[in-house]
Amino acid sequence: MSKKESKFPEVDTGVYFTTGNFAAAEGALAVGCKFFGGYPITPSSEIAEHMSVRLPQVNGHFVQFEDELASIIGILGASWGGFKSMTATSGPGYSLMVENIGLGMMTETPCVIINVQRGGPSTGLPTLVGQQDVMQVKWGSHGDFEPIALSPNSVQECFDLTIEAFNYAEKYRVPVTLLMDETLGHMSEKLIIPDDSKINRINRKKPTVPPEEYLPYKADDDLIPPMAVAGEGYNVMVTGLTHDERGYPVLNAETQDKLVRRINDKIRLNKNKIIRTEEYLLDDAEIALISFGSSARAAKGSVNRARKKGIKVGLLRLITIWPFPDEIIAKLAENVKKIYVPEINYGQVTREVQRAVQGKTEVEGIFILGGAIHTPEQILKEIEKGL
Amino acid sequence: MVEEKVKLQESKEHPLDGFLREGRIPHIFCPGCSLGSITNILLEAILESEYDPKDVAVVSGIGCTGRIAGYLNFDSFHTTHGRAIPFSIGLSVTDPNRKVIVISGDGDLFAIGGNHIIHAARRNANLTVICVNNFNYGMTGGQAGPTTYPGQVQTTTPYGSQEQPFNIPDLMASCGAAYVARWTALDVRRVKEAFSEAIAKNGFSFVEVLGSCPTTFGRRNQLAEGKKILEFFRENTVLNHNADTRDVSISHDSPIIVGRFIDRDERPTLTENLLKIQRMSQAKK
């Protein structure tokens, strides 16, 4: 495809005081996103609005679809047209998208979904924070698949991790979810957009064989098949049905086993490359906090306050939520007396931590069920109660 | 010419061989089903069009007609139920020279996918949409659908349907489609002409083909063979290109009106509008 010139930059280098939603949109543009399909929903709409301004400036397309069902499959279509593509939504919209996220998993279609979480279930708290879509990302669509989900906790990370989300999507050929939340989406802080040369861009693997030798779902040793897209003369065959290496539907247990195992294993085998966590004062900690997103900011504050009182608390912040960092948490469990999990839901990550810890230490969630973020004092109070 | 035909017959090759996916035939369609001949007509129309096959993509949803994309040796996409159209919008806008053809059934396009098709017509998306209407959900065993007419017996309307079906051509016309035609599977020459015209159209073009479904529609409605359904079409259709689309509803006891109802070039396409927005956005600085 010929590349049109534009006087507007994909990477709008500079220092900003801005919101997480703005930062995420600019991150997508910086990594080369050229198609946005979306439907308005609070608290994510600013991402769509900003993309509607900026995408055409860099020769991309913004389409406001009629609903989230169309938005998600529209970005799959654009991805098969060769564009890096994304959508942005919140919990109710994500609920509508999950079927076609499954299609993206099955057809190995790179794309990014930003979920700016709000309180649920149902319409819940449209304008207030939640972290209640963690499990929806993992289990929302039917069948077995290994999603990738990243969780930023600052405006800068909304930019940085959107780039990473695209890179993982392109590298592993999967839909990747960026799990933001309302607080992050709407709060303002410093954002540095670096020079174009500093942006790491990964593009999907292309076939190296001529069309007559190409099998669209024959994977390389890394379990990822090279991706020809529409218009390249490869006559790609794409179906959500269970398919063989040719992409042809073959409906039996053997083909199902081979395909579903591979699309899961390509993530499982690479999970150590995908999993990112951040440790804060964990070296001598007797009590650990495990948190993510905007909750992790409060958790960090509570670590500082506890340390001032002489309580040895540290923080493990999950940057990658899925695949879940089981081994890192299991190891942590051997060195601490207790793990607290502050999160803005009723125990979604807490239960995963309990699973990873396997009884090696005590695990307790500190829950807000949506509508507010924790205060450091609130978390500290829970820690002190348990001493 | 005769020599060529003899050669072809002896070679046991079919002129469309390279355009059907090797290893995917035999297809799954029932005896008496019209989807085989509709596939054949579609292939011929594509090959006779101005498009390089490389620039043609065929997209289907779910259902019997939804299987057609998967038999064709183009870039072909078999998506989820009801979502062929928004997938195609994403696919089509990435390349203004690409021809995206959606072929799917009435249930897929007008029940579960109904919201998408009306918006695609409203936007004048650059798509050719072919709806094979068999009056029921065939793949799942013959349940009633959005085209089931009053009195029609299906597995979920055992006492006869009491609902009004969509008047599909009128719906498409009122949403702004640039081209709207309806033919039956019996009108092979007309269907071919309509497919060719629809493919040549810039913007949202739509063809409804009334298909024969003896297995799950016909045998519950006194039309238990493909031939009987086609005979029914022959005896009960009236050609009227100038029909007011408001008058082309299908019911059991009035003639079915077929024809090329709408053919207009009044509006820019979605892709043209998106490219225009690019120019507007870049003119500012």
Structural domains in chain B (count): 1
Whether pLDDT at A93 is above 80: yes
Structural domains in chain A (count): 2
In a domain, A319, yes or no: yes
The answer to whether the Cβ–Cβ distance between A73 and B80 falls below 8 Å is yes
Question: Between the CA of residue B195 and those of A120, B205, B225, B279, what are the distances in Å?
Answer: 48, 9, 26, 33
Spell out the residues 6+ positions from residue B17 whose beta carbon is closer than 8 angstroms to its own: none
- Summarised one tens digit per residue, pLDDT across range B145-194 is 999 999 999 999 999 999 999 999 999 999 999 999 999 999 999 999 99
Cα–Cα distance for residue pair B139/A21, rounded to 1 Å: 44
- Grouping H, G, I as helix, E, B as strand and the rest as coil, residue A316 is strand
Nearest to B98 among A73, A231, A240 (CB): A231
Four-CA torsion A192, A38, A167, A277, nearest 10 degrees: 70
Find chain B residues with C-beta within 8 A of A96's C-beta.
none
- For residues A49 and A226, the answer to whether their CB atoms sit within 8 Å is no
Mutate to test the interface with B, among A235, A236, A245 (most CBs of B within 10 A): A235
In a domain, B13, yes or no: yes
Nearest to A76 among B90, B280, B281 (CB): B90
In a domain, B144, yes or no: no
Amino acid at A122: S
For B187, the domain range is: 2-137+161-283
The answer to whether the Cβ–Cβ distance between A56 and B94 falls below 8 Å is no
Cα–Cα distance for residue pair A150/A162, rounded to 1 Å: 9
- Summarised one tens digit per residue, pLDDT across range A126-163 is 999 999 999 999 999 999 999 999 999 999 999 999 99
Based on the fold, state whether residues A44 and A183 are members of the same structural domain.
yes
In a domain, A42, yes or no: yes
In a domain, A119, yes or no: yes
For A347, the domain range is: 278-385
Based on the fold, state whether residues A178 and A288 are members of the same structural domain.
no
* DSSP state string for B133-181: E-SSBTTTTSB--TTPPTT--BTTBTT---SPPP-HHHHHHHTT-SEEE
Name beta bridge partners: A193.
A14
Based on the fold, state whether residues A377 and A288 are members of the same structural domain.
yes
Share of chain B above pLDDT 70, in %: 98
Confirm whether the ipTM is greater than 0.90. Answer: yes
Cα–Cα distance for residue pair B275/B97, rounded to 1 Å: 13
In a domain, B155, yes or no: no
Q: Does A239 touch chain B (CB under 8 A)?
A: yes
The answer to whether the Cβ–Cβ distance between A103 and B80 falls below 8 Å is yes
Amino acid at B9: Q
Find chain B residues with C-beta within 8 A of A64's C-beta.
none
In a domain, B253, yes or no: yes
Mean pLDDT, contiguous 10-residue spans, chain B (285 residues): 69 81 89 96 96 97 95 96 98 97 98 98 98 97 97 97 97 98 97 98 97 96 96 97 96 93 96 98 82
Amino acid at A29: L
* Mean pLDDT of the A361-382 span: 98
Compare all CA atoms of chain B with the CA of A241 and give the residue at the minimum distance: B78
What are A154's two structure tokens? 């600052």
Determine the pLDDT at residue A2: 47
The answer to whether the Cβ–Cβ distance between A71 and B93 falls below 8 Å is no
Give A77 to chain B, closest Cα distance, Å.
Answer: 4
Cα–Cα distance for residue pair B67/B33, rounded to 1 Å: 13
In a domain, A220, yes or no: no
The answer to whether the Cβ–Cβ distance between B98 and A81 falls below 8 Å is yes
- For residues A273 and A317, the answer to whether their CB atoms sit within 8 Å is no
Based on the fold, state whether residues A183 and A296 are members of the same structural domain.
no
In a domain, A273, yes or no: no
Question: Among residues 253-292 of chain A, which lie with CB inside 8 Å of chain B?
Answer: none
CATH at residue A343: 3.40.50.920
H or E, element range at B105: strand B99-105
Question: Among residues 266-285 of chain B, which lie with CB inside 8 Å of chain A?
Answer: 270, 274, 277-278, 280-282, 285
CATH at residue A116: 3.40.50.970
Pairing of strands B179-184, B256-263: antiparallel
In a domain, B152, yes or no: no
Based on the fold, state whether residues A180 and A301 are members of the same structural domain.
no
What are B281's two structure tokens? 């956005």
Spell out the residues 6+ positions from residue A273 whose beta carbon is closer than 8 angstroms to its own: none
Give B242 to chain A, closest Cα distance, Å.
Answer: 32
Mutate to test the interface with B, among A66, A242, A251 (most CBs of B within 10 A): A66
Residue A214 phi/psi, 5° resolution? -80, 130
The answer to whether the Cβ–Cβ distance between B76 and A56 falls below 8 Å is no
Compare all CA atoms of chain B with the CA of A69 and give the residue at the minimum distance: B83
If phi > 0 it is left, if psi is from -120 to 50 it is alpha, else beta; for residue A124 that is left
Q: Does A250 touch chain B (CB under 8 A)?
A: no
In a domain, B118, yes or no: yes
Based on the fold, state whether residues A298 and A183 are members of the same structural domain.
no
Whether pLDDT at A1 is above 60: no
What are A366's two structure tokens? 């500190």
Q: What is the pTM of this model?
A: 0.96
- Grouping H, G, I as helix, E, B as strand and the rest as coil, residue B227 is helix
Based on the fold, state whether residues A58 and A162 are members of the same structural domain.
yes
Q: Does A215 touch chain B (CB under 8 A)?
A: no
- Grouping H, G, I as helix, E, B as strand and the rest as coil, residue A317 is strand
Residue A184 phi/psi, 5° resolution? -65, -40
The answer to whether the Cβ–Cβ distance between A100 and B80 falls below 8 Å is yes
Cα–Cα distance for residue pair B17/A278, rounded to 1 Å: 58
Instruction: Give A246's DSSP letter.
Output: T
In a domain, B9, yes or no: yes
CATH at residue B192: 3.40.50.970
The answer to whether the Cβ–Cβ distance between B73 and A235 falls below 8 Å is yes
